[in-house]
């Protein structure tokens, strides 16, 4: 029963990933936006960020959104023979699954030139630039 429930959960997760899409309007919303909006965005500020510089002076920021899951299954048995000894057998099998989206932002002159999410990504209104607070 437990294995079939796990298989159903995995199948549901895979089908939902198939429904997730990167919306073009969410990418376009970042063009020309100040890098300060990216530095303070509530979604991206919570992700690890890796910054590199291209030879042409373009700054490339990678905000990594990832999730790992692992499952282990095991079984064992103990058998007592005719003497005082007990034989014990155990089998354990583990697997790990990692889903990663690299949110790549290309920045030049303090402005976002392009937003290009790569990997297992989806976008919605939550990743769009936020209105400035206090203005």
76 lies in a domain? no
119: alpha, beta or left? (left if phi > 0; alpha if psi -120 to 50): left
31 lies in a domain? yes
Beta-bridge partner residues of 52: 60
The predicted structure's pLDDT at residue 96: 81
64 lies in a domain? yes
> How many residues are present in the chain?
135
Name 106's Cβ contacts closer than 8 Å, sequence gap at least 6.
Answer: 58, 59, 60, 112, 113, 114, 115, 116
25 lies in a domain? yes
Domain that holds residue 105: 21-69+99-127
Give me the number of domains the chain comprises: 1
87 lies in a domain? no
Residuewise pLDDT in 10s, the chain (135 residues):
455 555 545 444 444 444 569 999 999 999 999 999 999 999 999 999 999 999 999 999 999 998 887 888 888 887 777 777 777 788 888 888 878 899 999 999 999 999 999 999 999 999 999 886 544
78 lies in a domain? no
81 lies in a domain? no
The predicted structure's pLDDT at residue 16: 45
37 lies in a domain? yes
């Amino acid at each position: 029963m437990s294995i079939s429930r796990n298989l159903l959960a995995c199948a549901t997760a895979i089908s939902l990933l198939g429904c997730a899409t990167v919306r073009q309007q969410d990418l376009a919303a970042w063009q020309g936006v100040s890098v300060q909006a990216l530095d303070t965005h509530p979604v991206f500020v919570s992700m690890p960020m890796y910054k590199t510089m291209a030879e042409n002076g373009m700054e490339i920021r990678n905000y990594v959104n990832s999730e790992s899951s692992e499952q282990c299954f095991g079984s064992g048995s103990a058998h007592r023979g005719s003497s005082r000894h007990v034989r014990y057998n155990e089998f354990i099998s583990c697997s790990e699954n990692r889903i990663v989206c690299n949110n790549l932002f290309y920045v030049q002159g303090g402005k976002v030139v392009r937003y290009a999410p790569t990997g297992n990504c989806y976008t919605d209104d939550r990743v769009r630039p936020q209105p400035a607070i206090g203005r």
